A and B are shown apart, each in its own frame.
Chain A
Amino acid sequence: MSEYLIYSDSACDIKPEILKEWGVDFLPLTFRFSDSDTEYRDGEIDPREFYAKMRAGAVAKTAAVNVERFTEEFDKILASGKDLLYIGFSSGLSTTYNSGRLAAEQLREKYPDRKIFTVDSLSASAGFGLLLYLTVKKKNEGATIEEAAAYAEDLKFRLCHWFTVDDLVYLKRGGRISPTLAFVGNALGIKPVLHMDDEGHLINMFKVRGRRSSVTALADKYGELALDKKGGTVFICHGDCDGDVETLKKVLAEKYGAEVMLVTYTGTVIGAHSGPGTLALFFEGEHR
């Protein structure tokens, strides 16, 4: 059995040093601020600085990874004799996965003896990160590339993404949510609670009054859906709102005995669309 590498992209919102620890390679998506042509790699700017700019009104435009970049990177890996499992950012939100898939297709001819698998995570942010984490865990337990790919394909429909945003204007601006669904967000004090559906699209599920209620609504969803409430792996992502993270952690611990394994910033590319004040909870459930 050949050695295989799990490959990813930066939309998983896991810090490079952690990904390195997991043995996962990745390509960054990119962004630029609308008033300048300077392009930044996802994560190149400190998230605090990035959100401060957004709060001040800066608009960030994002770009997917193109086929060329993937082909270049994948070629190196395959040339080194390793098999490749690419798990990519939801095709419902970005063309990044498709670029990776096309690159993989092209390279199959060149490397007929190499095993190449691609998995559309239909996930985003640390939900995507959680999918990577659990797949890496499977790999470390001795799973073959076929087993790891099959595991990820199955697991992805059970990875729950529940999140709330402070202002739907960002998702609306980036076209990541339909304008009619965004409508509720204009009301004073109304907070939407969203999730990601099985097609990897963002869906506005319901609205609550007040930030506090939206934070506790995420915990309620955990209670409703989490497979292993006490021992499951829980990730939290946030757009620079530490206080709300603490509230959410506290409620999860008090109500369900849940421990949050990883808290991280929503990265600059995802954050460009979700905006400051985004709070997201990721966990394995019975279904999404």
Chain B
Amino acid sequence: MFKPGKGEPQSPRTKITLKPVNADKKPAEKKSKPRKTQGKKKDSRDIKYLTGWLMSKMAKGGAKLLRSNAEKVNKLNVFPVPDGDTGDNMRMTIESGIAAIENLDTDDLAEVMRVFSHGMLLGARGNSGVILSQFFAGTAKGFEGAVEADPYTLGRALQMGVKQAYASVMTPTEGTILTVAREAVDYATSKITPSSTIRTFFADFVGEMHESLERTPEALAVLKEAGVVDSGGAGLLYIMEGFNRVLNGEEDGDDEADTAPAEKPKTPAVNSSFGPDSKMEYGYCTELLIQLMRDKTDIDAFDVEPLKEFLSGIGNSIVAFKTDSIVKIHVHTFEPEKVLAHCREFGEFLAVKIENMSVQHTETEGVEPAPEIPVEKKKYGVVAVTNGPGIRDMFIEMGADQTIEGGQTNNPSTNDFLEAFGKIHAECIFVFPNNGNIFMAAQQAAKFYTDAKVVVIPSKDVGTGYVALTAADLSGDDPDAIAEEMKAAMQNVTSGYISPAVRDAEMDGVRISKGDTIGIMGKKIVLSDPDMRCAAYRLAVKLLEEPDKFMLTVFRGAGTTEEDQEDLRRCLEENCPSAEVYFVDGGQEIYPYIFTAE
């Protein structure tokens, strides 16, 4: 539960708990008290500008608060089943951003946000994680060229963040994280006055976000029925509340106690892992701040493109941009001395940072070049997200080159996909996310990846993905035609699964008691049964009763026994003798059975 901020006026919205609204209290009667203004601040340390240092600290504070509340966010699940993962997805996404700025030694807001959001884009997991990363990426774009930001610039940047977040979703749904972000940004932006500070902005911003989150069940019927607020919105609120706490000095984003940039350690502690016999594996992360000199070059006409070209000849991960008479570059290279010599031809250094990446190398530096590459490029590659050893083997048998272990509560990140792509040497890669909540991360990775055409097949579960993969003929020349064939095969599939219920509920007209096993077909709960075996059988029959369904593939989960399966097989043989039923020892987590009816 959120506590009101220090020095903040008590307001009704702070009573919002991030629990199912119906779980332990009656739905709150709507309070129509006018919103209390947050405008007057008594604190003399008011912050007029958001700087890179402050942003890093806030980011860390946001991540920290989300981290300690991720489980609560997970539980805000529309279905009363234990597969909520929004909190974990968002946490891992923001932590990937934090790791990226960990060793960043700059007060440049645009740069901090660029690196932070890029880290998030790569680490994005789950749809909420992808949307979150896009929100920050858009915001970062809004800060481009800004060393620091006043409330107006901040508001405009956040508006861009909202825009990009909406654009990242094919069919934006209101009553979700999108709405929560948009309403909060709009409100806070509308409240900006010349006397506004970063703090007043965030007070308005977070305040409205609370309210907006509380309104999500009104906007989205499934939330209302489930008695929860939107989980993605809740995750965003924790992050922004974390920002706010740092701003208000209630929380220090860093574990080191200081906020003053001057006291920030200038160099990372030297790690003894690099010794006299170590291999120089990663080169130097080289960052220069260059003052262009009038006696060396024509400052106005100076173009960074030739410089980028030079850098790409001796390194990678290149960033170079010019702001007025200052050029900033970032490059990973084995020959930093050449960079220094070259750059002195047109300027002098304001700052130089050269770090041996073999010492401070972390996995979040970015995508490393793919290991040994086979000579011949094959036409098609396949990447599938699988859950459980049986399902993984099945996909490998059908020709998947790379599998990524993941599933409902374990969404792989964009970077996981990029790494898998990098291990395949093919002209075109088909990706089977096999989960609706993994699709966007795969799609984002597809956009980033340049070494092959990547086609994401929107398979919502392992069964559907398997049908698509087996139905397609991978000998054809036209990848788009193959993708269409795969999608057409999926049209004919109806999927379902059973799951234990973690709370009492009444949904889709089905009464559910905690501990029951519920059966979900498509996106609807169709039954609830105190007996797991009965639930499995009943759902299987329901699926086979759908029009034109003759065949059922049953994926048995890790938690079920062979006896359970035999029982189901016997019941189906006796009662649906004409059905073709295949059993797979899938080994998936959470769901005792996943069914695919064709």
Contact = CB atoms under 8 A, between A and B. Distances in A.
A25 to B, nearest CB: 42
A210 B398 contact: no
B11 interface: no
Contacts of B466: 188
Contacts of A187: 397-398, 470
Interface in B550-598: 550-551, 553, 580, 582, 584, 598
Contacts of B470: 184, 187-190, 207, 209
Interface in B3-35: none
A189 B471 contact: no
A213 B471 CA distance: 12
A53 interface: no
B489 interface: yes
A179 B580 CA distance: 26
Contact of B584 (A188, A207, A212): A188
B394 interface: yes
Contacts of B550: 210-213
A186 interface: yes
B329 interface: no
B397 A210 contact: no
B467 interface: yes
Nearest to B581: A189
Nearest to A189: B582
Most buried by B among A184, A189, A211: A189
Interface string A204-217: 00110111110000
Nearest to B466: A188
B290 to A, nearest CB: 59
Nearest to A186: B397
B397 A189 contact: no
A189 B551 contact: yes
B471 A207 contact: yes
Contacts of B582: 188-189
Contacts of B471: 207, 209
A86 to B, nearest CB: 39
Given A188-B584, A189-B553, A209 B397 contact: no
A142 to B, nearest CB: 48
A190 B394 CA distance: 13
Nearest to A187: B470
Given A187-B470, A188-B394, A189-B470, A210 B598 contact: yes
Interface residues of A, number: 13
Given A209-B471, A209-B489, A210-B598, A188 B580 contact: no
Nearest to B475: A180
Interface string A176-197: 0000000010111110000000
Interface in B375-424: 394, 397-398
Nearest to A183: B399
Contacts of B467: 209
B385 to A, nearest CB: 18
Nearest to B470: A187
B398 A212 contact: no
Contacts of A209: 467, 470-471, 489, 492, 551, 598
* Chief secondary structure at chain A's binding surface: mixed
B27 to A, nearest CB: 47
Contacts of B553: 188-189
A211 B584 contact: no
B544 to A, nearest CB: 12
A209 B466 CA distance: 11
A212 B492 CA distance: 14
A159 to B, nearest CB: 27
Contacts of B398: 187
B230 to A, nearest CB: 37
A184 B397 CA distance: 10
B580 A212 contact: yes
A191 to B, nearest CB: 9
A219 to B, nearest CB: 15
A207 B83 CA distance: 35
Contacts of A186: 397
Contacts of A190: 470
Nearest to A247: B578
A211 B579 CA distance: 10
Contacts of B394: 188
B397 A212 contact: no
Contacts of B397: 186-187
A168 B504 CA distance: 49
Contacts of A210: 550-551, 580, 598
B17 to A, nearest CB: 47
A190 B472 CA distance: 11
Interface in A23-56: none
A60 to B, nearest CB: 26
Contacts of A212: 550-551, 580
Most buried by B among A190, A207, A209, A212: A209
A210 B553 CA distance: 10
Contacts of B489: 209
Nearest to B394: A188
Interface in A83-118: none
Nearest to A188: B582
Interface string B90-123: 0000000000000000000000000000000000
Contacts of A213: 550-551
B530 to A, nearest CB: 31
A189 B581 CA distance: 9
B481 to A, nearest CB: 14
A212 B470 CA distance: 16
Contacts of A189: 470, 551, 553, 580, 582, 598
Contacts of B584: 188
B490 to A, nearest CB: 11
A207 to B, nearest CB: 7
Nearest to A243: B578
Contacts of B551: 189, 209-213
Most buried by B among A184, A210, A211: A210
Contacts of B492: 209
A206 B550 CA distance: 20
Interface string B448-468: 000000000000000000110
Interface in A202-253: 206-207, 209-213
A178 B46 CA distance: 78
A212 B398 CA distance: 22
A207 B598 CA distance: 15
A207 B466 CA distance: 14
A189 B597 CA distance: 11
Interface in A137-189: 184, 186-189
A206 B553 CA distance: 21
A210 B549 CA distance: 10
A187 B398 CA distance: 7
Contacts of B580: 189, 210-212
Interface string B150-169: 00000000000000000000
6 contacts: A184-B470, A209-B551, A210-B598, A211-B580, A212-B551, A212-B580
Interface of A: 184, 186-190, 206-207, 209-213
Interface of B: 394, 397-398, 466-467, 470-471, 473, 489, 492, 550-551, 553, 580, 582, 584, 598
Given A188-B466, A189-B598, A209-B467, 6 more contacts: A188-B582, A189-B551, A189-B582, A207-B470, A209-B492, A213-B550
Task: Give 9 closest A-B pairs by Cβ, nearest first.
Answer: A210-B551, A212-B550, A187-B470, A188-B582, A190-B470, A189-B582, A211-B580, A209-B598, A210-B580
